[in-house]
Amino acid sequence: MTPQKELKLAYSLTIILLVVGVISYAAAPAKTPDEPVRMMFKVVAGNVLFDHKTHTVETGYGLACIDCHHHRAEDEEEEPFLACGYCHQIPKEGEALPQSCVECHEPDEIEDTEMIKRADAFHSQCEECHKDAGIGPVKDEERCAWCHFMM
Partner 1 sequence: MLNQKKLIVSHAPFCHDGSSISVRSYHMMIAALPAVLFGFFQYGINAVGVVALSISFAIIWELAINKVTKRSISIGDGNTALIGLLFAMLLPATSPWWLVITGTFVAVVIGKHIFGGIGGNPFNPVLIGLAILMVSWKDFFDFDQALLNYDLGFAMVYPLAAVKHLGTPGIEAFSTGGLLLGQQSGGIGATFGLGLILGGIYLIVRGFIRWEISISFLAGIFITALLFNLNNPTLHAGPLFHLFTGYTLIGAFFLASEDSSSPVNFIPMLIYGAGAGIMTVLVRNLGSYVDGVVFAILLMNLINPIVDKIRPKALGKVV
**Please, are residues 83 and 118 in contact by the beta-carbon 8 Å criterion?**
no
**Please, are residues 47 and 151 in contact by the beta-carbon 8 Å criterion?**
yes
Q: Residue 87 or 147: which CB sits closer to partner 1?
A: 147
Q: Which does 37 bind (CB under 5 to 8 A by kind): partner 1, ligand HEC, none?
A: partner 1
Which one among 81, 95, 131, 149 touches ligand HEC, defined by CB under 6 A?
Answer: 81
Which one among 58, 77, 93, 103 touches ligand HEC, defined by CB under 6 A?
Answer: 103
Minimum Å gap between C-beta 91 and partner 1 is: 30
Which one among 6, 67, 95, 142 touches ligand HEC, defined by CB under 6 A?
Answer: 67
Question: Checking DSSP bridges between strand 47-50 and strand 39-41, what pairing results, if any?
Answer: antiparallel
Q: Does 47 contact ligand HEC by CB under 6 A? A: no
Measured between alpha carbons, how far is 18 from 23 in angstroms, rounded to an integer? 9
Question: Checking DSSP bridges between strand 47-50 and strand 148-149, what pairing results, if any?
Answer: antiparallel
